Structure 1
């Protein structure tokens, strides 16, 4: 290679490095996007405010569940009182009105546990069918599901009461359990997740091996839907546990009350019996514990269930 050829080759390599520099710089800028200090500070501040908004009421309940009725009104609501009476207050809650609070807790576990599990199963089955089968009226069913997501539960409580009253099942466990078996949000989430997480090739392979349609759902689809299942169970459990309007309309027997309605019943008696203030506060603390445990145990599945479908292709 002569001198001229060497010079040309050097110029080409230099030119190539110059052309590559903007690309490298663009990639670097892309990687650093969203990592500016101001952006980080703003996002952190917003998340901190949201955390304070949700945690302050819980903190207030924990602190005031340790006080006597006098300290509840005579001391700072965000600090401990003169005496630490947490154990005594919890004992009073569990023994008040003939020990009705444990019955309310069992009722809430029954409504929320059975309702969330069955609602999740039905939602996953229907969502899987909408995602993997083509049939007339499929789009109309989607519209109905979306409409169910948008309709608040309080709007259907009174019509359900008239319907169940005609059937003779008001003031029974069924009057709260049956509406809890329907989860439009869960059906919609399961449908979106199944369309992304359950490959059609997997189902075709199962059919070739002689697996029936129910077997395809239970043996192949459900394991793929595990994050979505946990997400729907969590959302439905919390929704049923915190439900107040439906039990208020359906139930008249105090022994059938869930915790939410029972605590409201105690709160209504505080005008003539001030000690019920402390019972209501202690009961509110106990009612938060199962939800906190459930969320802490399932949070990693919950986060995965919200994002898994968006990254599968």
Structure 2
């Protein structure tokens, strides 16, 4: 009876804590999704309704498909070119960053060599340096070798991920048992064969995690392409949409506001987030399985 009374006495406190956490999570969810809801609704409006109607509701008519058509056909389809550029930068840059980080993290975790701790300390130091601080030095370096205003000026820096290297080093320490490596070496497998046939499979969830982080960072990269690119034909979506936004606000013109560009900017932003959503939906099962396996003691 006493234990039942004690449990009854503790249940209101647990309920209060649960209610408080639920309210807090609800507020965080609202904060995260409110701009997205506004963006989706705004993409269904024309320029007049976009400025006159309530932001969190539909305007006068449904203009989504008209806006999509205008975005894809404006200036001979320059948006499609920007979309393709962003896809190129994200796939090649993020894929290269994930591969390099996986190989480097595996080497730092499983091989003993002179200067390993110094290399790891250098990686930790590189994490603390913001990417924007390296944009101008990167531009000056690439200008010396003639890579400015070319895709390589965006791709090469995107393939370097100190945080991904650190993450894979920590993950590889426990994900790849030393006994498995020793068994492969005893069987006569070389280091490259061991890495690609055994270790890479065990590092799969960590690889996908680094790939997702790098994909988001590269897809949303703005400052570096703004510095190293001047030809609009090589712009990513971030720089191109900002150019349209400047035209909409009149910052790039004589000062007169061009409201017709607002639906282009809003609808172009909606189309720009679709690939990231698809990538997360497709890759999240690998991510979740890796987090779950890491929580179980082997």
What TM-score do you get using the length of structure 2 for normalisation? 0.91
In structure 1, the residue matched to 2:263 is 278
Gap change, CA 1:304 and 1:42, over 3 Å in 2: farther
Counterpart secondary structure, 1:268: helix
CA distance in 2 between partners of 1:39 and 1:297 (Å): 34
CA distance in 2 between partners of 1:39 and 1:148 (Å): 40
Superposition map of 1:206-217 within 5 A: 206-217=184-195
Matching residue within 43, 51, 72 for 2:50: 72
Q: Is 1:107 aligned with 2:85?
A: yes
In structure 1, the residue matched to 2:273 is 288
CA distance in 2 between partners of 1:138 and 1:299 (Å): 33
Which runs of no fewer than 5 residues in structure 1 stay unpaired? 1-24
In structure 1, the residue matched to 2:145 is 167
Gap change, CA 1:166 and 1:240, over 3 Å in 2: same
Please state how far the C-alpha of 1:302 moved relative to its aligned partner: 2.2
User: Does the CA contact (< 8 Å) of 1:66 and 1:84 recur in 2?
Assistant: yes
Which runs of no fewer than 5 residues in structure 2 stay unpaired? 251-255
Please state how far the C-alpha of 1:44 moved relative to its aligned partner: 2.0
Matching residue within 81, 100, 105 for 1:127: 105
In structure 2, the residue matched to 1:254 is 232
CA distance in 2 between partners of 1:183 and 1:312 (Å): 29
Please state how far the C-alpha of 1:183 moved relative to its aligned partner: 0.8
Matching residue within 191, 198, 210 for 2:169: 191
Please state how far the C-alpha of 1:174 moved relative to its aligned partner: 0.2
Superposition map of 1:40-119 within 5 A: 40-119=18-97
Counterpart secondary structure, 1:303: helix
In structure 1, the residue matched to 2:125 is 147
For these two proteins, the number of residue pairs brought into alignment is: 284
TM-align CA RMSD: 1.8
CA distance in 2 between partners of 1:307 and 1:141 (Å): 30
Please state how far the C-alpha of 1:283 moved relative to its aligned partner: 0.2
Which of 1 and 2 has greater Rg? Answer: 1
Matching residue within 182, 204, 219 for 2:182: 204
